[in-house]
Every structure is written in C-alpha cells, then in structure tokens.
Amino acid sequence: MTTRVWDYLPEFEKERESILEAVETVFESGQLVLGKSVQKFEEEYAACHGVRYCTGVDNGTNAVKLGLEALGVKPGDEVITVSNTAAPTVVAIDEVGAIPVFVDVREDYYLMNTDLVADAITSRTKALLPVHLYGQCVEMAPLKRLAAEHGLVILEDCAQSHGARHHAKLSGTFGDAAAFSFYPTKVLGAYGDGGAVLTSDDDVHQNLRRLRYYGMEDTYFVMRTPGHNSRLDEVHAEILRRKLTRLDGYIAGRRAVAQRYADGLRDLTGPDGLVLPSLAPGNDHVYYVYVVRHPQRDHIIEALKGYDISLNISYPWPVHTQTGFQHLGYARGSLPVTEKLADQIFSLPMYPSLPRDEQDKVISAVREVLATC
C-alpha cells in the first residue's frame, strides 16, 4: 500500500457520523447559501481567536485577495511578501492589481527574513504580507514596528498555521487582518474549498461583507461597490464548526507524528546530512507539513518510490522563477536562500491520523535510503 503524503480517508472513517450529520443539518435547514451555519462558524472562529469579526469566503486565495482589497490596497500599490510560498499568495496580490515585492527567507526556519523588509519599503509600499509557513509564525514584532513607522497595513497569510502560536498569541491576531484557507489538507480543513478573513476593524469588516457578496450590503439588488461572488458554502461551514472543536486534537496528532520523525531521524542530521524542522523563537509549531532538507533531495525522493512512499515538495519552484511572474523582473540568484531551499526541501507524510505503522515505514525507509547517500 502506498504511503501518501496526505490522506483524508482515515479521518473521514473516524468522523463519518459527524461529517454526514453536518451535511444533513444543512440540507434540512431550508437555507443553502449564507445561512445559520456560516453565521455560527464565523462567530465561533472569531471567538476562538479573540477577534471581533470573521468573514467566511470561498477559498484561501480569495481570502488574501479580499483581505487586501478591504484594507485599501489598490492597483499599483506594492505588497511585500516572500517567494517561498504557494503561488496563490502572489496570485491574490496580482488580482488586486498590486505589485508583489519579494524578500528572502531565513535558512533555518524557511520564514520571511524580517531583517530585509525595511530596505524593501518604498513610497509605493502599502502592505506587508507575512506568510506563516509550514505550521509556524513569522516574527511579527519587527513587522508591526515597520508598519507603524511607515503607515502600512499588515495582512497575515495563515493558510498553513491554524492554531499556531507566536509568543503565546494565535496566528492571525497580529495584523490588521488575517487570511485563512480551509482547503482539505489544512490543519483545519473542509471537505472542499473554503476560506475566511479575521479582523477587529469595523471598516475592514464591512468592506469584507460587501466584497464577498457582489459589493452588496442590505439587499441583493443594491450594489454599493464592485465586489465578488466569494461566499463560504453552508455545508463546509457546518463541517468546519464541528472540526473546530477537534482542532486541538488534530494539532496534538501532528505534533506526535513530528516527534516520532525527530526521534527516529535525529542521528542522521549534520552539515551534509538531513536537516529536520527548526522551531523559531517564541513559536509553537503545528506541523502543517513536515519539511526536511538534504543536498541529494531528488535522489532520496526517487529512491523512496521503491518503498511505495509518496512525498511532496513545498515548493520546488519559487514564485519569482515561474513563467507567470517573469514580468516582475526577478533574476535567478536574486533570492539566494529561497532558491537554495527549493533545491533541497521535501515533505514527509504528515497528517494526524497517519497510522503508526506507516510512520515506522517512513522512518525505516528514509534511514535505508540515506545510508546510500
């Protein structure tokens, strides 16, 4: 049997009754769009973060896009972020008409190097968009100081950091707004696409409510500003409500898998060996993915196929090197750490219901393959 990097079926078998009950609840409610399930999930998700508002949207990409628009980012504005991220982060910036400006990442944590942000700020900079990658948070204090000094807004990309904490505060509670994805693979995942934006700002909240619903406010027929059709689905919202109560358990499961990997592979680490995930100061990691590094990454991945183990690379092609963003003008070598990581990183199977025997299979196979490197 193939060991997959992620699989929802073990979770579904365990939670089948709850998931199907959620579907039935919505179907029997008489309201399939923007009904009570979305409303209740928004209230509960905002409350668990200690913020005033949550706006459910249709996916994580549009959470970033609408978040930027609601914060006043306009065409031609510059948004500082990283290239070591999923392309949707940058696609959302582009869809607003803004200009992505990339800074490099820290080699030890794979997160935005906040020491480089000040030099990237220009008169056109409007927003900072830190990406809380792989399950832990970017250092936020320097970004908040820069935002205050230069009059910038901060939108956190929390697609990979549900439940992660930075100096005891939850991811998504540092900036002016925070965008989340509930894609099925996420720490808190729906059974399809979904997203949300958190904020405690009244104006940003009202902007978001209009933007996700064609630009309308009180009635379907009155469009106050141009907007989008970006509503969170009722079924996904009801499933997410139930899964939200189990979030701590999901995180504990991921941490347990991460600990077993660390215990089983730690003796193979070294300057030219395997590099395991590092925890940035002040962070609590939720291990959305378990990203490791090795100079012979491609050989290792190919060899592990012989053990029927499927791995993932997050991400093999930095955004600034992809054809769709060549117009930004970033040459090879402009983000050296990001580009180095792209040649070395790969992800071991990681999800809370990953069977223990499959964890053992991965550890054993990686040990055998590394012995040949």
Six-digit token string for 34: 């923007």
Identify whether residues 256 and 218 lie together within a single domain.
Answer: no
Question: Which of 213, 244, 275 is the C-terminal boundary of a domain?
Answer: 244
What pLDDT is recorded for position 270?
80
Judge residue 268's burial from the number of C-beta atoms within 10 Å of its C-beta, 0-12 exposed, 13-18 middle, 19 or more buried.
middle
What pLDDT is recorded for position 150?
98
| Residue-number span of the structural domain to which 166 is assigned | 10-103+110-244
Question: Which of 225, 244, 263 is the C-terminal boundary of a domain?
Answer: 244
What pLDDT is recorded for position 252?
98
For the segment 262-276, what is each residue's pLDDT rounded down to a tens digit?
A: 999 999 998 789 999
What pLDDT is recorded for position 174?
98
How many whole angstroms separate alpha carbon 6 and alpha carbon 364?
19
Q: In this structure, what CATH number is given to the domain that contains residue 213?
A: 3.40.640.10
Judge residue 269's burial from the number of C-beta atoms within 10 Å of its C-beta, 0-12 exposed, 13-18 middle, 19 or more buried.
middle
How many whole angstroms separate alpha carbon 6 and alpha carbon 185?
7
What pLDDT is recorded for position 216?
77
Task: Tell whether 119 is covered by a domain.
Answer: yes
Helix (H) or strand (E) segment spanning residue 144: helix 141-150
Q: Read off the DSSP letter of residue 292.
A: E
How many whole angstroms separate alpha carbon 255 and alpha carbon 275?
17
Identify whether residues 256 and 224 lie together within a single domain.
Answer: no
Identify whether residues 14 and 130 lie together within a single domain.
Answer: yes
Q: In this structure, what CATH number is given to the domain that contains residue 344?
A: 3.90.1150.10
Task: Tell whether 25 is covered by a domain.
Answer: yes
What pLDDT is recorded for position 222?
65
Q: How many domains does the chain have?
A: 2
- In this prediction, the residues of the chain whose per-residue pLDDT falls under 50 are none
What pLDDT is recorded for position 225?
77
What pLDDT is recorded for position 309?
95
Work out whether strand 53-57 and strand 195-199 pair parallel, antiparallel, or are unpaired: antiparallel
How many whole angstroms separate alpha carbon 215 and alpha carbon 227?
4
What pLDDT is recorded for position 221?
63
Task: Tell whether 2 is covered by a domain.
Answer: no
Six-digit token string for 134: 């792989």
Question: Which of 194, 216, 244 is the C-terminal boundary of a domain?
Answer: 244
Task: Tell whether 141 is covered by a domain.
Answer: yes
* Amino acid making up residue 324: G
